[in-house]
Amino acid sequence: MDNAGTAVVAAAYGRRMLLELPDGRLVQGFPQQRGIRTVCGDRVDIATTGGGIVVTRIHPRRGVLWRHDERRGRRPVAANLDTMAIVAAPEPPVAPEQIDRYLAIAELLELRPLLVANKCDIGPVATDEFLALGYEVHAVSAHTGAGLERLAGALRGRQAILSGLSGVGKSALVTALIPDYEARSSALSAASGEGRHTTTAARLYPLPHGGHLIDSPGVRDIRLWPMPPSELARGFREFRPWLGRCRFRDCRHDREPDCALRAAVARGDVSDRRYRSFLALAGRLA
Ligand SMILES: Nc1nc2c(ncn2[C@@H]2O[C@H](COP(=O)(O)OP(=O)(O)O)[C@@H](O)[C@H]2O)c(=O)[nH]1
Ligand SMILES: [Mg+2]
Ligand SMILES: [Zn+2]
């Protein structure tokens, strides 16, 4: 074995995987042993053998996005993420409560959220309240290219996954942001063997100025996982100054006496809409 080095997993389909080498080339790789199960975004050690490139070790993962499935438990969608670009559009319309949910996922996984209001050529997305909360908002159009340069600047050097409802333009944005998208995409499709993983596996693309963009059909199923309300509350960034100040340590922030969060809502320090959105989510996850 020689030529040891590192690579990034661009796509993993069962035991098959496509690796991005430090020079940007895509090559097929195989796990050296059974226990090595990679996911898109993994950093791996590789070695060249007579039979091709083998993955000898997966580096410790940070920033893992999980898909939670009641029957099958949780499975990783992608690893080593630091950013979640939450895409919304005037069509199909996105309720603010859906944006709250994506924001909470990003906050709880400690991914930096970017709100991308796509299709600005056909209309705006109501993002003022999120701007007021300190979130970064990008109004863009994958079709006209408006705002894409600024968005590309914000994504530079980041490991970002796109999330958002179906039809908001995630794929159109990947196509617009990745210059050699077509070539990369067909290489990734060929490597998949067009098996059953083809439509669900996450794919990683290099951003032109460093970093990666990950496109995953799996984000459709991204839901919040079961957790107590006290934990969910941390996913609402403006609630944080009041957390830990309620009478009860495990306050559900609902009808408990001396709830510091409800008091903040009553004073107008926290928006009633966001608070109600939190309660609705907490009710579903409890
Ligand atoms: N007008 C307009 N249409 C867009 C834009 N971006 C995407 N679309 C259209 O929205 C539809 C869904 O886009 P797609 O990228 O498949 O959405 P995805 O499901 O989030 O990946 C397609 O018909 C696109 O042509 C945009 O910036 N402006
Ligand atoms: Mg798509
Ligand atoms: Zn409380």
User: Per-residue confidence of the chain (286 residues) as pLDDT tens digits?
Assistant: 456 899 999 999 888 899 999 999 999 999 999 889 999 999 999 999 888 899 999 999 999 999 887 787 888 899 999 999 999 999 999 999 999 999 999 999 999 999 999 999 999 999 999 999 999 999 999 999 999 999 999 999 999 999 999 899 999 999 999 988 888 888 777 776 655 555 568 999 999 999 999 998 777 668 888 899 999 999 999 999 999 999 999 999 999 999 999 999 999 999 999 999 999 999 988 7
Cβ of 169 less than 6 Å from ligand 1: yes
Q: Which pLDDT value is given to residue 221?
A: 67
Ligand 1 pocket: which of 87, 94, 98, 118 to mutate (most atoms within 8 A of CB): 118
Q: Which of 38, 36, 35, 31 is nearest to 10 (CA)?
A: 38
CA distance 82 to 61: 11
Q: Which pLDDT value is given to residue 129?
A: 97
Atom of ligand 1 nearest to the CA of 215: 21
First-to-last CA distance in the chain?
A: 51
Q: Which pLDDT value is given to residue 185?
A: 81
Q: Which one-letter DSSP state was computed for residue 65?
A: E
Which residues are in the CB-under-5-Å shell of ion ligand 2?
170-171
CA distance 286 to 283: 6
Angle of the 260-267 helix axis to the 272-285 helix axis, nearest 10:
150
- Span from the CA of 254 to the centroid of ligand 3 (angstroms): 7
Burial of 255 (0-12, 13-18, 19+ CB in 10 A): exposed
Strand-pair category, 203-206 with 211-215: antiparallel
Structure tokens at 241: 């100054």
Angle of the 148-155 helix axis to the 170-177 helix axis, nearest 10:
80
Domains of the chain, start order: 2-58 (2.40.50.140), 65-221 (3.40.50.300), 229-285 (1.10.40.50)
At residue 2, what is the residue type?
A: D
Confirm if 46 and 53 have CB atoms less than 8 A apart: yes
- Span from the CA of 280 to the centroid of ligand 1 (angstroms): 30
